[in-house]
Structure 1
Amino acid sequence: MKGNSKFEDLRIKLYSEMMQWQDDNDMTEEFKSKFFKLIEFCTFSMMESEDNFFALFTIQMKREIKLNLPTAVANTASLAHFIIYFNPYIFLECTLEEMKALVKHEVYHIMYNHLRRAENIRGKYSDLAISRAMDISINQYVKHMPLWSDNIENISLTYNIDLKRDLTMEEYAKVIQEGIDKLKSSENLSMIEEKMKEGDGVVKRTHEPAHAHDIWSESENSLNFEQISDITKKAISNAIRGKIPNEFKNIVKNMDRKSEISWQEYLKKVIGTIPYGYKKTITRKNRRQPNRLDLRGRLSKRIAKIIVAIDISGSITDKEIDQIMTEIFSIVKNHHEDITILECDNQVRRVYNAKSKKDIKAKLDRKGGTAFSPVFEYINRYKMRDHLLIYFTDGIGEEELRCLPINYKTLWVITGKGEGLSLKKPYGVIKKLSDVTVEVADRSYAKDAMKEILMEWAK
């Protein structure tokens, strides 16, 4: 009780000092020091309770004050750790219990991999719908959130929709977007949108739900999702000394489980095994003149020569293609060969070369049937024997090829909702693309989170 009194005294003192600032340059180093002491008190309070997992997770995060943050607390990832940001204008208006709830809220975002899941559905739904969906999918399980926080009840009233508990963030985004679309031409939405624009200056003094997670773009620009996953696993490993919340237990249990080989890992293994020409070496004698030690011998030069075939009649989207090509160019970044792109439905529609992701063209809009044979006929016709073929398809097509493949190897990557390949004899390896958008998930919140991220932790 005495500790809480000290906390409240410090909070009020900091709040009073902040309200006397003439401009934002008035924030002193002494204020920052005292503010971080307040955060330490908040963390210590969690350490003494059943929330010690969140405390142990949070103390690994670097802390910074950010006055232009459009919410009380947010996080980003750096190369070595997460950074948690605080906006004193909003944060200091909260009680101790509300502050602890806000910190827990950020850990939930990280544990449930919301950064990646939000990126997967961005473009399909508005940033406002995604942002609010992420928050209500968490806030229904976190007690003592501030009154201005999004919850099922106030979002249902705001957009005149019926939201149920225990849905996934993706399902919430869909329903919220439908509500936004219905209100688009109404005066109600105009009022809502005007409210969202309040406080658009450099400094933010109120919570702005439409922009609460804009800071995540700072993580996206400097890191990839694999790096963020590694940082998360490290933080979890150091935090499991505390009492693990029930909804996180399966995540921790499966964190180090080995997964089946992914198509990316398979591609890494294959690249470099494809022979292409020769290179000079001093480690081998010249075969024609073995007694001439001054002459270099030859070794087979192994370099990636890749064909990427895209089934443009299937369920694969431009966004999936963008993600796929990002992976492929990341894998082959040290090689200098162009990648040959073949777009095919029941015939090869377009062929072009690409040196980088910027060379990738938007997928042709075709509604024809699917046939795999035209791609292999093209490879045979142009004698592309030494190429690796990566064929992205939903798997529905012929049962037998019209010609036998002559190319070095074939990797079939099944996209979308495809369950398998229709070919009786695939003449290659089949992998399921499981790292792209998942629309439907288990109704249970914990199971939904597991479905999205177990494979991430296992890699």
Structure 2
Amino acid sequence: MDQNKFEILKNELYEEVQIGIDSSTEFEKRFLQLIAMCNLSLMTGDENFFGLFFIQIKRKINFKLSTALETKLSGAYFTAYFNPTIFLECTLREMQALIKHEIYHIMSKHYIRAKKLKNKYSELAINLAMDVSINQYLMYLPPWSAQLENVKLAYNIELEEDKTMEQYAQKIQKGIDKKIKKQEEFEKDFLKLHEIWNDMDDDITLGQIDEIIKKTANNAYKEKVPESIDVLMKALNRTSEIAWKDYLKNIIGTLPSGHKKTVTRKDRRQPNRLDIRGKLSNRIVKILIAIDISGSMTDREIEQSMIEIFSIVKNYPFDISIIECDEEIRRIYKVKNIKDIKEKINTKGGTKFSPVFQYIYDKRLRDYVVIFFTDGVGEKELIVKSYNYKTIWVLTGINEELSLENPMGIIFRLNSSVEKKERANGYDLIRDAMKDIRSEWAK
């Protein structure tokens, strides 16, 4: 890239912005030419990944943006939005750092992770946490960027290096809640960070976002790349731990089934006998949902879990019953749709799992799948052995393990903790790798 041509064009555009020029086709064309030159400067050496990644991102101008640059997912691709008024105040190195900053937001799945924290922390805490988790590793950022030091001073809190955005959000929120005097001047610069994300499509799934990120990153993953990018790529490509609902989907096709006679199929043993009817599978999905009503599962979680179950079995004839129990069975009823679900009975009793399996044995419910929602605290050993086809244990509380020594089934968690989710997605791996490559991202 010709540095002189870049500086001349940048200065011309900056002067036009200063005199109050409105966005025009000609101005936008020249501004995007400047961005292309900046992108070209990232196409060499260790910067190659960032240049190849950003070249796949569409670019637009937005003078109403509260910061220099933000990206968002638009359909099947990413779009970068620039506010020329702010962006043109930056040096070439600062522009490069801002582009890297956005790419690390994407690679770290910050949009999804921020969404999961919205009901837990304020928007300000989340915005600051996302940025300090990235910016501590980037050099040459503009002076107005959120950094560990200025956030620590603003809220009189201690923030350690090399932590995840979730850990920073928790500490920053505590600082916001405890502050004595208003920090209006500091906060107004960061409260509207990532506001463009609010316009993103809420219907797009985590899986779809993963695929778009992977596709964009893989296209840029050529030859030598920074170690930090290599770590993020491994995290992106790591297979997620299967959830209880996915396991249920997988076993639906293996459920025992009876048969019914049909004239549309020949008898397999005597195919030449046209007078003998053949057989078709008469599969009925039979599920028994046991809910430990002494545990920590809320009515809302019960409803959400039932919605998942109904969506899985919707293409099959099904027979679903709910058993509520603590140290004994309190209620049993059938459900055909979400409206049939009743508020759980509140009891103060302990927890025993055996009554459910005794009921299954007594009623000879061999071909049923049992989904047992419990906080995990109960007996160490079942009085009666499991008689049914499959058992899925879903832990709803903070306990990591089921008390049963031989549970006779497979164990999942209803909702993993933030820390476990981070590990499953490789965020701890990223954090550990960064300890040894603090300034490597912006060499």
Same fold (TM over 0.5): yes
Describe the SS at the equivalent of 2:97. Answer: helix
- Aligned counterpart for 2:221 among listed residues 210, 233, 240: 240
User: Structure 1 residues 167, 347: CA separation in 2 closer, same or farther (over 3 Å shift)?
Assistant: farther
Give the corresponding residue for 1:387. Answer: 368
Q: Does 1:41 align with 2:37?
A: yes
In 2, Cα distance between the equivalents of 1:396 and 1:8?
67
User: Structure 1 residues 79, 392: CA separation in 2 closer, same or farther (over 3 Å shift)?
Assistant: farther
Give the corresponding residue for 2:68. Answer: 72
Larger Cα-atom Rg: 2
Give the corresponding residue for 2:94. Answer: 98
In 2, Cα distance between the equivalents of 1:141 and 1:305?
53
In 2, Cα distance between the equivalents of 1:150 and 1:117?
19
Residues 63-93 of structure 1 show CA distances to partners (whole Å, capped at 9, x for unaligned) of 2333443332222234533332223333233
Kindly state the Cα deviation for residue 286 of structure 1 after the two structures are TM-superposed.
Answer: 7.6
Q: Does 1:17 align with 2:16?
A: yes
In 2, Cα distance between the equivalents of 1:112 and 1:363?
39
Residues 120-169 of structure 1 show CA distances to partners (whole Å, capped at 9, x for unaligned) of 33322222111111110110001111122111111112112122212221
Q: Does 1:125 align with 2:121?
A: yes
Kindly state the Cα deviation for residue 275 of structure 1 after the two structures are TM-superposed.
Answer: 4.7
In 2, Cα distance between the equivalents of 1:7 and 1:258?
43
Residues 207-262 of structure 1 show CA distances to partners (whole Å, capped at 9, x for unaligned) of x4223234334446131111111222222222221532222323434655567655
Alignment check: 8 A CA contact 1:414 1:431 kept:
yes
Alignment check: 8 A CA contact 2:294 2:349 kept:
yes
Q: Does 1:8 align with 2:3?
A: no
- Aligned counterpart for 1:175 among listed residues 147, 171, 174: 171
- Aligned counterpart for 1:427 among listed residues 408, 411, 415: 408
Alignment check: 8 A CA contact 1:54 1:104 kept:
yes
Alignment check: 8 A CA contact 1:168 1:448 kept:
no
Give the corresponding residue for 2:265. Answer: 284
Larger deviation, residues 340-349 vs 32-41: 340-349
In 2, Cα distance between the equivalents of 1:369 and 1:115?
41
Alignment check: 8 A CA contact 1:272 1:304 kept:
no
- Aligned counterpart for 1:270 among listed residues 241, 251, 272: 251
The size of the alignment, in residue pairs, is 428
Kindly state the Cα deviation for residue 101 of structure 1 after the two structures are TM-superposed.
Answer: 0.9
In 1, Cα distance between the equivalents of 2:130 and 2:406?
44
Q: How does 1:364-403 map to 2 (within 5 A)?
A: 369-376=350-357, 385-403=366-384
User: What TM-score does the superposition give when structure 2 sets the normalisation length?
Assistant: 0.79
Kindly state the Cα deviation for residue 320 of structure 1 after the two structures are TM-superposed.
Answer: 7.2
Alignment check: 8 A CA contact 1:51 1:243 kept:
no
Give the corresponding residue for 1:413. Answer: 394
User: What TM-score does the superposition give when structure 1 sets the normalisation length?
Assistant: 0.77
**One-letter amino acid matched to 1:96:** L
Kindly state the Cα deviation for residue 179 of structure 1 after the two structures are TM-superposed.
Answer: 0.8
In 1, Cα distance between the equivalents of 2:12 and 2:291?
62
Q: Does 1:55 align with 2:51?
A: yes
Describe the SS at the equivalent of 2:265. Answer: coil
Give the corresponding residue for 1:199. Answer: none
**One-letter amino acid matched to 1:244:** V
Give the corresponding residue for 1:202. Answer: none
Describe the SS at the equivalent of 1:156. Answer: helix
Give the corresponding residue for 1:136. Answer: 132
Give the corresponding residue for 1:153. Answer: 149
User: Structure 1 residues 256, 167: CA separation in 2 closer, same or farther (over 3 Å shift)?
Assistant: closer
Give the corresponding residue for 2:437. Answer: none
Give the corresponding residue for 2:103. Answer: 107
Alignment check: 8 A CA contact 1:112 1:449 kept:
no
Describe the SS at the equivalent of 2:403. Answer: coil
Residues 150-209 of structure 1 show CA distances to partners (whole Å, capped at 9, x for unaligned) of 1111111211212221222111111111111112xx4425x369x53xxxxxxxxxxx42
Describe the SS at the equivalent of 2:56. Answer: coil
In 1, Cα distance between the equivalents of 2:416 and 2:150?
33
Alignment check: 8 A CA contact 2:284 2:319 kept:
no
**One-letter amino acid matched to 1:155:** V
In 1, Cα distance between the equivalents of 2:343 and 2:37?
53
* Cα RMSD (Å): 4.0
